[in-house]
Amino acid sequence: MPNHKKISSYFGKRSSPTAYASSFHKGIDIPAPPGTNIYAAMSGIVVLAKFNGSGGCTVTIQSGNIYTSYCHVSPNFLVSPGVYVEKGQIIAQVGPKNVYGFSDNKYKDNNDNPTNGATTGPHLHFAVREDSTYLNPLNFF
Ligand SMILES: [Zn+2]
């Protein structure tokens, strides 16, 4: 997200900001308004584009054994599994805090409205893993 470079939460240990949010943060958080374009950090194949538990609406791209995930994105997905995307291509937009219609969503805000995974407000959660081991994205990008 070219105009959004502030990181509100870094990779690693933290105190959990909301119910069910992990106390080991497996990525970095970059706040941005809903609708902000998200550009692929790596080329690869889309392997997941759906509501995915604590990550909320999530897009995951596989580049060999490296997986990059973009969480809490808009439920209006711009890519679908099996599609090849280029680095720098718009692959999603930042999602709203609240999303509706996902029956497997247990995450709610203080007003009991369903949230876009474990989130307290619109932001991109960006994660990198090598196979199943999460790595600090700032060591890559
Ligand atoms: Zn996060």
CATH of the domain at 20: 2.70.70.10
CA angle (138, 39, 128) in 5-degree steps? 35
pLDDT in tens, 66-104: 999 999 999 999 999 999 999 999 999 999 999 999 999
User: Is the pLDDT score of 17 beyond 90?
Assistant: no
pLDDT, average across residues 21-36:
92
CA of 64 from ligand 1 middle (Å) equals: 23
DSSP E strands: which ranges in the chain? 12-13, 24-25, 28-31, 37-39, 44-51, 57-63, 66-71, 84-85, 90-93, 123-130, 133-135
Buried b / exposed e over 69-108, threshold 16 CB at 10 Å, is bbbbbbeebbbeeeeebeeeeebbbbbbbebeebeebebe
2 in a domain, yes or no?
Answer: no
Q: d(Cα 19, Cα 106) in Å, to the nearest integer?
A: 10
Distance (Å, rounded) from C-alpha 11 to C-alpha 135? 8
pLDDT tens digits, one per residue of 42-53 = 999 999 999 999
Res 48: pLDDT: 98
In a domain, 104, yes or no: yes
Judged against a pLDDT cut of 90, whether residue 27 lies above it is answered with yes
What protein residues have CB closer than 5 angstroms to ion ligand 1? 29, 125
With respect to residue 4, please indicate whether it lies within any of the assigned structural domains: no
Average confidence score pLDDT of the chain: 95
Task: For residue 76, give every residue at least 6 positions away whose Cβ sits within 8 Å of its Cβ, in sequence order, or none.
Answer: 93
Kindly state whether residue 20 falls inside one of the protein's structural domains.
yes
Query: Domain range spanning residue 122?
Result: 12-139
Please state the rounded mean pLDDT for residues 57-69.
98
Residue 63 CA, ligand 1 centroid: distance in Å: 21
Is residue 12 pLDDT above 90, yes or no? Answer: yes
In the numeric block, the tokens 């392997």 are attached to 47
The pTM of this model reads 0.94
- % of residues, the chain, pLDDT over 90: 89
Mean pLDDT of the region 108-135: 96
What is the Rg, in whole angstroms, of the alpha carbon atoms belonging to the chain?
Answer: 14
Report how far ligand 1's centroid is from the alpha carbon of 42 (Å). Answer: 19
Cα 81 to ligand 1 centre (Å): 22
CA of 11 to the centre of ligand 1 (A): 8
Please give the distance, rounded to the nearest whole angstrom, from the Cα atom of residue 62 to the centre of ligand 1.
Answer: 19
pLDDT at 23: 79
Residue 74 placed within a domain: yes
